[in-house]
Amino acid sequence: MILGAALTALGSRLHKANSDAATELRPLSLLRATVRRKTSRRALRRRPVVRPHIPGAILLVLALALVGADLLPRFVDFGRVSQARPWTDLSAGWLAGPGALPVWLAIAILALLAVVARYARRKRRGNLPGAFANAGASVTEPAPGSELADALRSCKAAFAGVALFSGVSNILMLTGAMFMLQVYDRVLPSRSVPTLIAMAILAGILFVGQALIDLARGRIMTRIGAELDDAVGGRVFTAVSRLPLYIGQQGDGLQPQRDLDGIRTFLSSAGPGTLFDLPWLPFYLAIIWSLHPTLGITATCGAILLVTLTAATEVFTRKPIGAAAVTGVRRNSLAEASRRNAEVLAAMGMGNRLHDHWREASREYLAQQQRVSDIVGGFGSFARALRLMLQSAMLGVGAWLVIQGEATSGIIIAGSILAGRALAPVDLAIAHWRNFVAARQSWSRLSKLLARLPPDAQPMALPVPGANLTVERIAIGAPGAQRIIVQGVEFSLDAGSVLGIIGPSGSGKSSLVRGLVGAWRPLAGRIKLDGAALDQWSSERLGRYIGYLPQDVELFAGTVAANIARFDPGPDPEAIVAAARAAGVHQLIIGLPNGYETQIGEGGTALSAGQRQRVALARALYRDPFLVVLDEPNSNLDSEGEMALAAAILGIKARGGIVAIVAHRPNILSTVDFLLLMKEGQMQIFGTRECVLTKLLPMPQVSAEGLQPVASAPQLRN
């Protein structure tokens, strides 16, 4: 009665402490220390991964069940209900002998609860050291490439909870062995059915508690993976979208996202659980040694063999898994290229030929995967066979010890069960080794990528540009390539100027305009707006002042209005309509089934090529950017569209903007003020439209005083 009252009081105290801690912990996200970001009221109300009072309640119930179920058969003889047991027998049974294990387990669980309560009180008082004390403090941004490590490091409190649950779960794993030991050594000799019933009830409660603890541990790991994705996913998406600007369209562009998914999936799988269970291997071996040293030696030899198989699995699978990842990227790249060019493949009968290339890459990929599967499967089969063999060996050694009179019959079964449980994590580690190595390689690739692509700097906001564009002897090369495409280009344009860029195919016109908008960074020289180089602007802020219509128009799945507004979360309807009117596409849009709310599908497939180009022109004109760069803007336009384009260019010029146009058709050149002739990546001529056309198409009656032939160091024109 006294012990029960004490346990009840302790449980109430722990429940109150953990409830208070839960109230204070609720506003904190698991990975709040990972990144410094704005927190909304909804985020402040996020629940923690696991309510702190739930683990305490589970452990307290298990402790009470252990003590209560062990006290009852010791205090009362079920064969003689009215006869009490002597206190000397009770104390001896509680503190020593094989039946004392439940009491010691209960004491250990209560000690863990006391530690948890102590940390909860210190947290409530603000005295909690380490990561707990800094959980609410703002920290600096993690270094590029260390985001994943910082994210998991900030989860150390959650990992500590998983380790605690793993410890309790491994202790409760002794239930089966101890139950069999008590059945063979106590129930069968005494033939006491009430004792068997009491022990069965106790074992059932412990098994249910173990299931609850394993469930809580799995849910914590799943939420750790989700929080990791939430913390690093934004950086990965930014890296995926920026990667082509650094390496071009090489490899599988979505591989970083797949790597993050692979890491999250691994954290949610049974693989990490084995890593928490492996440290308990010596614990089980120590218990087996306590049963008998010979059994301990047998189990230790089996453990050494299984650990050796695990190390061999790591050595033999490292290279094949790496090779499989490389061939997998190649196979996915061929499949993605075929998907993007499905119309070309169908029209020109190239499908079978591309299919053959894909099949070759697929065979190589499958061969590497098969090699990995063979290695892991082979070692896994040997590990399982060895574990079963060891259990049989434990039975045989136990039987020999019973014959020699050195052990009881219950030790035979208990030793076999404990040996199987001790080596089960090693067996599972080998079975999940492939996933572990894959997650490790994903981690390495993702960390290197994030280190290579640091977050955009946030420089001081500069005034809105509105004076001039200056290009100072720039050199531009394609991302991921070593060849320079454009070099030695320099000119200057004032507000209200229109520049036409002409030249033969392959002369570097499109590469030049990619540099003008900041998509390709110059290898040499600088591009300035109002005297400030483009790298002095943040990408988001610079995008407000630049409109860009690429040669290959690409729209995004969504409404027409969302595409024109550049997916601005708070678009201005008047600005959307103004951009559409400026591009001469307003009437076309309102003629669509749902007007501006018409869904255009992935890539704008619901629109024709000319309609996509005109909508993209409206997107370039949204909110009247200062610099508008148009690459072949009339390639898919009819006469009406060309008239609307000319009107849009004149409108930009009238409001004091700057326009740069890449054009092959001469009719659009009537709107330009200056012409730039490109040839073999270099600027050949720069001057007024009349002077350049006179040089290209000489006419006797026209003077060429305004020409500026470009030498090795052409002069800037103001």
Q: How far apart are alpha carbons 87 and 71 in whole angstroms?
A: 12
> Which residues, in sequence order, are CB contacts of 13 under 8 Å at separation 6+?
117
- Residue type at 217? R
Q: Higher model confidence: residue 258 or residue 528?
A: 528
User: For residues 396, 399, 401 and 403, what is the CA-based torsion angle, rounded to 10 degrees?
Assistant: -140
pLDDT at 545: 93
Q: Residue 109 pLDDT > 80, yes or no?
A: no
Which of 320, 317, 314, 327 lies closest to 255 in space, CA to CA?
327
Q: Other C-beta atoms within 10 Å of 594: how many?
A: 11
pLDDT at 47: 42
Q: Residue 25 pLDDT > 50, yes or no?
A: no
What is the Cα Rg of the chain in Å? 37
Query: Residues 359-375: pLDDT tens digits?
Result: 888 888 888 878 878 87
Which of 607, 618, 669 lies closest to 648 in space, CA to CA?
618
Do residues 144 and 453 lie in contact, with contact meaning Cβ atoms separated by under 8 Å? yes
CA 181 to chain centre: 47
pLDDT class of 107 with cuts at 50, 70, 90 = low
Highest mean pLDDT among 75-89, 432-446, 553-567, 703-717: 553-567
Q: How far apart are alpha carbons 600 and 618 in whole angstroms?
A: 15
Query: Residues 206-227: pLDDT tens digits?
Result: 888 888 888 888 888 888 888 8
Query: Residues 251-291: pLDDT tens digits?
Result: 566 778 888 888 888 888 877 888 888 888 888 888 888 88
pLDDT at 38: 37
Stated length of the chain: 718
Highest mean pLDDT among 91-100, 127-136, 407-416: 407-416
The tokens for 89 are 């027998």
Section 640-655 average pLDDT:
89
Q: Residue 529 pLDDT > 90, yes or no?
A: yes
Q: What are the distances in angstroms from CA 120 to CA 58, 115, 160?
A: 17, 9, 14
Domains 257-453 and 551-623 share a fold: no
Q: How far apart are alpha carbons 82 and 101 in whole angstroms?
A: 27
pLDDT at 93: 42
Q: In a 3-state reduction of DSSP, which class is residue 499? A: strand
pLDDT class of 657 with cuts at 50, 70, 90 = very high
pLDDT at 108: 54
H or E segment at 548? Answer: strand 546-549
pLDDT class of 716 with cuts at 50, 70, 90 = very low
Q: Higher model confidence: residue 336 or residue 206?
A: 206
Q: Residue 451 pLDDT > 50, yes or no?
A: yes
Q: How far apart are alpha carbons 231 and 151 in whole angstroms?
A: 7
Do residues 595 and 551 lie in contact, with contact meaning Cβ atoms separated by under 8 Å? no
Domain 257-453 in this protein, CATH class? mainly alpha
Q: Residue 688 pLDDT > 60, yes or no?
A: yes
Q: In a 3-state reduction of DSSP, which class is residue 678? A: strand
Q: Higher model confidence: residue 550 or residue 425?
A: 550
Q: Residue 515: phi, psi to the nearest 5?
A: -70, -35
Ranking 87-101, 471-485, 512-526, 527-541 by mean pLDDT, the lowest is 87-101
Q: Residue 23 pLDDT > 50, yes or no?
A: no
- Angle at which helices 174-182 and 409-431 cross, to 10°: 160
Which of 420, 436, 468, 210 lies closest to 298 in space, CA to CA?
420
Section 510-535 average pLDDT:
91
Section 618-629 average pLDDT:
94
Q: Residue 243 pLDDT > 90, yes or no?
A: no
Q: Higher model confidence: residue 607 or residue 101?
A: 607
Which of 229, 217, 221 lies closest to 148 in space, CA to CA?
229
Q: How far apart are alpha carbons 151 and 234 in whole angstroms?
A: 13
Ranking 562-566, 626-630, 698-702 by mean pLDDT, the lowest is 698-702
Q: Other C-beta atoms within 10 Å of 84: how many?
A: 11
Q: Residue 11 pLDDT > 50, yes or no?
A: no
Q: What are the distances in angstroms from CA 661 to CA 466, 514, 619?
A: 19, 12, 16
Q: Are strands 524-529 and 468-477 parallel, antiparallel or unpaired?
A: antiparallel
Query: Residues 166-209: pLDDT tens digits?
Result: 888 888 888 888 888 888 888 888 888 888 888 889 888 888 88
pLDDT at 196: 87
As a whole number, the mean pLDDT across the chain is 76
> Which residues, in sequence order, are CB contacts of 440 under 8 Å at separation 6+?
none
Portion of the chain with pLDDT greater than 70, in percent: 76
Q: How far apart are alpha carbons 553 and 632 in whole angstroms?
A: 10
pLDDT at 486: 93
The tokens for 674 are 């200056």
Q: How many CA atoms lie within 13 A of 115 on its CB side?
A: 10
**Sheet strands side by side (includes 674-679):** 546-549, 627-631, 658-662, 498-502, 674-679, 682-688
Do residues 333 and 365 lie in contact, with contact meaning Cβ atoms separated by under 8 Å? no
pLDDT at 525: 93
pLDDT class of 42 with cuts at 50, 70, 90 = very low
Q: What's domain 551-623's architecture?
A: 3-Layer(aba) Sandwich (3.40)
Q: How far apart are alpha carbons 229 and 223 in whole angstroms?
A: 10
- Residue type at 244? P
Highest mean pLDDT among 58-67, 252-261, 566-575: 566-575
Section 446-454 average pLDDT:
82
Q: How far apart are alpha carbons 443 and 149 in whole angstroms?
A: 9
pLDDT class of 347 with cuts at 50, 70, 90 = confident
User: For residue 577, with 0-12 CB atoms within 10 Å meaning exposed, 13-18 middle and 19 or more buried, which class applies?
Assistant: middle
Q: In a 3-state reduction of DSSP, which class is residue 710? A: coil
Domain boundaries, the chain: 1-132+148-242, 257-453, 551-623
Residue-by-residue DSSP string for 205-262: HHHHHHHHHHHHHHHHHHHHHHHHHHHHHHHHHHHHHHTHHHH-S-S-TTHHHHHHHH
H or E segment at 646? Answer: helix 639-654
Q: How far apart are alpha carbons 504 and 340 in whole angstroms?
A: 27
The tokens for 161 are 């909870």
H or E segment at 323? Answer: helix 293-340
Q: Residue 6 pLDDT > 60, yes or no?
A: no
Beta bridge partners of 676: 501, 686
* Reported pTM: 0.64
SS3 per-residue string spanning 157-204: HHHHHHHHHHHHHHHHCHHHHHHHHHHHHHHHHHCCHHHHHHHHHHHH
The tokens for 35 are 């990144």
pLDDT class of 142 with cuts at 50, 70, 90 = low
pLDDT at 562: 93
Q: How far apart are alpha carbons 641 and 251 in whole angstroms?
A: 37
Do residues 105 and 287 lie in contact, with contact meaning Cβ atoms separated by under 8 Å? no
Q: How far apart are alpha carbons 128 and 183 in whole angstroms?
A: 46
